Amino acid sequence: MATDAVIKPVELGGTRAWLVWGLAVAFVVLYFSFQTGYAIVNPSVQKDIGLSATQVALVAAVYTWVFALCQFFSGALLDRLGVGKIIPISIALVTIGIFVFANAQSYGTLLMSQLIIAVGACSGFVGAGYVGGQWFGMAKFSFMFGLVQFAASFFSAFNQNVLSLALTQFSWRALFNVIGFLGIILFILGALFIRNPTPTARASESFIEFFAAVARGMIEVAKIPHVWVASAFGALCFGVMLGLGVVWAPKLLAVRGFDAATANWSASLLWLGLAAGCVVVPKWSDTVKSRKVPIIACTIVQAAALALLLYLPNLGVIVAMLLCFAFGAGNAAHSSLSAPLRTPSRLTASAPRQPSSTALCSSSAES
C-alpha cells in the first residue's frame, strides 16, 4: 500500500485542522474573487480586447461548462489521492489561468484562461468541504461546509467592492496580476501544509487501473437516486446565482438606471446575502431534520426577489440592495444539500454512511 504523505494521525479540530481548512478556504476565496471580479471588469475587458456582448457571455459560459464537467472527477480524485496532492495542483492551475487572463490580448486567449481556471477550480469548493469533514469529523460536516460557503460569499462581496474602487486607480490587468501573485503565495503554503489528517492509503496501480477505479466510484454514487435530484437542484439554484453575480446583475441594474458604482455595490449584496444565508440554512435544515422545508421556502424568496428586480417599477437604490441581499440569502438553499441524509429511510438505506467527496461533488452547489 502507498500513502500520499508520511504523517502521523493528528487530533481532529486542533490548530493544524484550522490551518489546513483555512488554506483550503483561501483557495475557494481566490477563485471566487476571480469570478466576481470578472463581473466588475468585463466592460473594461470588452473594450480593451474588442469583444462583443455575446463573446463576453461566452467567456463566462466556458468557465461554467468546463467547471461542471470536471466536477465529475474532482471528488473521486480527492477520495483516491487526498487533498495533499489535489489542492496544491489545483491552486497552481488557477494561478496560471489568472495570469493568462490578466495578460490576454485576444478572445481565444481569454477562453483558454477560463478553461485553465475551471479545471483547477473544480476541486476547490468540494475540496474545502472534504477538508472540513476529514479534519473536524463528520458530525460537524454540515456546519463546516456552511462556513466554507459563508467565507467564499462574504469575501466575494468584499472583493467585488474593493475591485470596483481599485479600478478607478489601476487597470484590470494590474489588479489580476496582483491576484495571480497572491495565488503563488497560496500555492507555496498549500504545498507545505495541506494534508489529510491520516495518510490516504491506496494500492499500487497503473494509470488505467486508477481511472477505472475512479469510474467505478462515480458509478456507485450515480446509483443513488437522491444524488441526481440534489445535483439538478444545486445546478439550477447556484447556476442562477453565478449568472447574476458574475455577469448579469450589474448590467441589469445599469439598465434599470443605476450608475456603474451603485450597480456594482448592489450586485455585491448578492454574495453578502448568500454568506448570511449559508450560516442559517444548514443549521435550520439540521434542526428541522428536513431539506425540503428550507429549500421550498428559500426558492420562493429567490423567485420573488428576482421577479421584483426585473419588473418592479421605479426601483430605488435601497430596494434594489435589499432585493439583491434577499435573493442571495434565498440562494443558500443549496447549502443544505451537503448535509448527510437523515430522514428518508428509503434513501439512506442505499446511501453511504458518510458522504464521500465524490457524492459531495455530485450534489455540490457549484455542480
What is the number of residues in the chain?
Answer: 367
Side chain identity at 130, as an amino acid letter? Y
What's the pLDDT at 23?
96
For the beta carbon of residue 131, count every other beta carbon within 10 angstroms: 28
Q: What is the pLDDT of residue 3?
A: 45
Q: What is the pLDDT of residue 338?
A: 60
Q: Is residue 367 part of a domain?
A: no
Three-state SS string over 22-61 comes to HHHHHHHHHHHHHHHHHHHHHHHHHHHHCCCHHHHHHHHH
Instruction: State residue 204's pLDDT score.
Output: 66
pLDDT of 357 reads 53
Residues 6+ apart with CB under 8 A from 229: none
Which residue from 140, 307, 337, 139 is spatially nearest to 232, judged by alpha carbons?
337
Contact by Cβ (8 Å): 152, 274? no
- Amino acid, res. 52: S
Structural domain contains residue 131? yes
Contact (Cβ atoms closer than 8 angstroms) between residue 121 and residue 67: yes
Write out the chain's pLDDT in tens, 367 residues.
Answer: 444 444 445 667 788 999 999 999 999 999 988 887 787 788 888 889 988 878 887 887 888 888 888 887 888 788 888 899 999 999 999 999 999 999 999 999 999 999 999 999 999 988 998 998 889 887 777 778 878 888 888 887 777 778 878 888 889 999 999 999 999 999 999 999 999 988 766 656 677 877 787 778 778 878 888 888 888 888 888 888 878 877 788 888 988 888 888 888 888 899 889 988 988 888 888 788 888 899 999 999 999 999 999 998 888 899 999 999 999 999 988 877 765 544 443 333 333 334 455 444 444 444 4
Residues 12/136, Cβ–Cβ less than 8 Å: yes
Q: Evaluate the CA torsion angle 129, 6, 9, 16 in order and state its sign.
A: negative
Structural domain includes residue 226: yes
Got the DSSP string for 130-187? HHHHHHH-GGGHHHHHHHHHHHHHHHHHHHHHHHHHHTTTS-HHHHHHHHHHHHHHHH
Closest CA to 360 of 149, 186, 118, 110: 149
What span, in angstroms and rounded, lies between the C-alpha atoms of 212 and 69?
Answer: 18
Structural domain count of the chain: 1
Cβ burial of 57 (10 Å; 0-12, 13-18, 19+) is middle
Q: What is the DSSP letter of 260?
A: H
Torsion of CA 146, 301, 248, 264, to 10 degrees: -70
Distance CA 40, CA 110 (A): 16
Q: What is the pTM of this model?
A: 0.74
Q: Is 147 within the bounds of a domain?
A: yes
Rounded to whole angstroms, how far apart are CA atoms 360 and 276? 22
Is 58:143 a contact under the CB 8 Å cutoff? no
Residue for cell digits 477505472? 212
Supply the DSSP string of 302-366, one letter for each residue: HHHHHHHHHH-TT--HHHHHHHHHHHHHHHGGGGGGGSPP-S-HHHHTTS-SS--HHHHHHT-TT
pLDDT, position 264: 82
Q: Is residue 73 part of a domain?
A: yes
Tell me the residue range of the domain where 106 lies: 2-362
Q: Can you give the CATH number for the domain in which 141 is found?
A: 1.20.1250.20
Q: 197: which 3 cell numbers?
A: 489528517
What's the pLDDT at 320?
92
The answer to whether position 169 is within a domain reads yes
- 357 is written with which cell numbers? 467527496
Structural Rg of the chain based on CA atoms: 20
